[in-house]
Amino acid sequence: MKPAPFEYQAPATLRETIDLLVSDPEATVIAGGQSLIPVLAFRLAAPSMLVDLRRVPGLGNIAVGESGVRLGARVRWRDIEHDRRLATAHPLLLEAIAHVAHYQIRNRGTVGGSLAHADPAAELPGIAVTCDAEITLVGAAGARTIRAGEFFTGPLCSLVDYLIPTATDFPAIRAIALENHPSPSNPLGVKGAGEGAIIPVGGLIANAVAAALSSVGAEPNELPLSPPRVWRLANPS
Please give the residue that has the higher pLDDT: either 192 or 100.
100
Is it the case that residue 195 has pLDDT exceeding 50? no
Question: Domains plus CATH for the chain?
Answer: 7-52 (3.30.43.10), 62-171 (3.30.465.10), 193-234 (no CATH)
**pLDDT, mean over the chain:** 78
Provide mean pLDDT across the span 175-192. 46
Is it the case that residue 226 has pLDDT exceeding 70? no
Phi/psi of residue 138, nearest 5 degrees: -125, 135
Query: pTM of the prediction?
Result: 0.72
